[in-house]
Structure 1
Amino acid sequence: MDLTLDQLSVVTDGRALVRDLSLHVGSGTVVGLVGPNGSGKSTALRCIYRALKPSAGTVRAGEEDLVRLPPRQGAQLVAALAQDGAVDLDFTVAEAVALGRAPHLRGNQALSARERELCVRAMDRLGIGHLAGRGVLTLSGGERQRVLLARALVQEPRILVLDEPTNHLDVRHQVELLSQLRGSGLTVLVVLHDLNLAAGACDRIGVLSAGRLVTAGTPQEVLTEDLVEDVFGVRPTVVPHPKSGVPQLLYSIHPDSEESSPSCA
């Protein structure tokens, strides 16, 4: 199922957080959103999972306008892993993951055998099956992040949106998570700060700055030295990955390097 943002704008207290954003995520593809802090990435995602209502423009899942859909139907199409996602009550991991089935249940309807198996498979897939009986509040930040992703997967969405899903994860789990996204078959829009991870994980990348889309394209088209300097204020050296060929950005932190960013007064 395609995801389309069409001339999306969000204005709050007279300030435009997102301006005329148009972006297409093809069915089954992984598209990354990158940009400096405050560039509108999280705001755009909140419009997709309906935590915010756009001031103008539309968000469509296939031909459906997500703003107009009943909440239950929208949640059956789109699952989200928000930047500030949390489980505040001390559910067990298994209970927290099972909450992902809520859009498909009526009232206090019990999970079916198939749904229980779905939860087990999602926990095993994220490497948290051994934590099923643990309280969520006893987990590390990285473990909780994987619980929230498992909860999103058991929702069986057609579209998955994730806001900085690699936060709190060590390198191994970052790579594993992004590899799973590529192999999920879902339509994925993901906000990432690590441009090298974005290059390796995403079919296409959209670059935001000051609420506007600067450019969108393949990692090779987008992640150039000039664009990164213009948008992020630091000039990298871009080299192809020796195996995949995707661009990888190298930065120098030596204080005398010409690539170093200006010091802050």
Structure 2
Amino acid sequence: MDLRLDAVTVAVDGHLLVRDLSLTVDRGQTVGLVGPNGSGKSTALRCVYRALRPSRGVVCVGGDDLATVPPRRSARSIAALTQDGGSDLDFTVAEVVALGRTPHLRGNRPLSGRERELCEQAMARLDIAHLADRGVLSLSGGERQRVLVARALVQEPEILVLDEPTNHLDIRHQIELLSLLKGVSLTVLVVLHDLNLAAATCDRIGVLSGGRLVAAGTPAEVLTADLVWNVFGVAATVVTHPLTGDPQLLYSLAPPHTT
């Protein structure tokens, strides 16, 4: 299922947070949103998982205007990992992961054998099977993050929306999670602050600044020294990763082209 934002604008209390954002994520593609703090990345994602309604423009999923799709149907097709997606209730890890099946259940129907197996597989993939009986409030931030990703996968969505999914994760689990995203065959829209992780993970990258899309394309097309300086105010030297061929950035605070 493809995802399209068409001239999406979001205004809150008279402030334009996102301005005429048009972006397409083709079926099975991973697209990253990057930009400085306050550039509108999370706001754009909220429009996709229906926490916000655009002031103007439309979000389309599979060709349908998301505003016309029944909530239960969109909950089955779109899973979201948000920055504030934790729980104040001390459910066990297994219980939280099982909540991913909620959009597919009617009434108090228990999980089927297939659904229980799906939960076990997701916990194994995210390296949290050994935590299944632990309360989520006893976990570290990184462990909770992996629990929430497992819950999203158990939902069996067609579109996965992730807002800073590598927050709190150590380097090993960052790499494992982003490798997982490349292998799940889902349509993925992800916000990342780390430009090198975005370059290694995403098929395409959109750069937001001041609520506007200022660049979009492949990592090699977008992540240039000029763009990083103009958008982030940081000098960068672009090098090629010796193993993957992905562009990687080496940073300094000095302006580019100076000695």
Distance (whole Å) between structure 1 residues aligned to residue 88 and residue 56 of structure 2: 33
Aligned match of 1:229: 229
Aligned match of 2:23: 23
Distance (whole Å) between structure 2 residues aligned to residue 64 and residue 103 of structure 1: 19
Aligned match of 1:40: 40
Q: Deviations for 1:29-58, whole angstroms, at most 9, x for unmatched residues?
A: 110000000000000000000001110111
Aligned match of 2:122: 122
Q: TM-score, normalised by structure 2?
A: 0.97
SS of 2:143's equivalent in the other structure is helix
Distance (whole Å) between structure 1 residues aligned to residue 121 and residue 154 of structure 2: 9
Q: What's the CA shift for 1:69?
A: 1.4
Distance (whole Å) between structure 1 residues aligned to residue 252 and residue 224 of structure 2: 16
Aligned match of 1:110: 110
SS of 1:20's equivalent in the other structure is strand
Q: Deviations for 1:69-107, whole angstroms, at most 9, x for unmatched residues?
A: 121111011000001111210000000000000000011
Alignment of 1:53-132 (within 5 A): 53-132=53-132
Distance (whole Å) between structure 2 residues aligned to residue 258 and residue 224 of structure 1: 14
Aligned match of 1:263: none
Aligned match of 2:216: 216
**After TM superposition, what 4+ stretches of structure 1 lie above 3 angstroms from structure 2?**
none
The one-letter amino acid paired with 2:18 is V
Distance (whole Å) between structure 2 residues aligned to residue 104 and residue 187 of structure 1: 20
Distance (whole Å) between structure 1 residues aligned to residue 64 and residue 138 of structure 2: 40
Alignment of 1:155-234 (within 5 A): 155-234=155-234
**Is the CA contact 2:235–2:252 (under 8 Å) kept in the aligned structure 1?**
no
Q: Deviations for 1:228-260, whole angstroms, at most 9, x for unmatched residues?
A: 10000111111111111111000136xxx556x
Distance (whole Å) between structure 2 residues aligned to residue 17 and residue 208 of structure 1: 11
The one-letter amino acid paired with 1:212 is R
Q: Deviations for 1:113-152, whole angstroms, at most 9, x for unmatched residues?
A: 0000000000000000000000000000000000000000
RMSD across aligned C-alpha pairs, in angstroms? 1.1
Distance (whole Å) between structure 2 residues aligned to residue 84 and residue 163 of structure 1: 9
Aligned match of 2:135: 135
Aligned match of 2:249: 249
Q: TM-score, normalised by structure 1?
A: 0.95
Distance (whole Å) between structure 1 residues aligned to residue 63 and residue 219 of structure 2: 28
Runs of at least 5 residues in structure 2 that lack an aligned partner in the other structure? none
What percentage of residue pairs aligned between the two structures are identical? 73
Distance (whole Å) between structure 2 residues aligned to residue 96 and residue 5 of structure 1: 30
Distance (whole Å) between structure 1 residues aligned to residue 99 and residue 183 of structure 2: 24
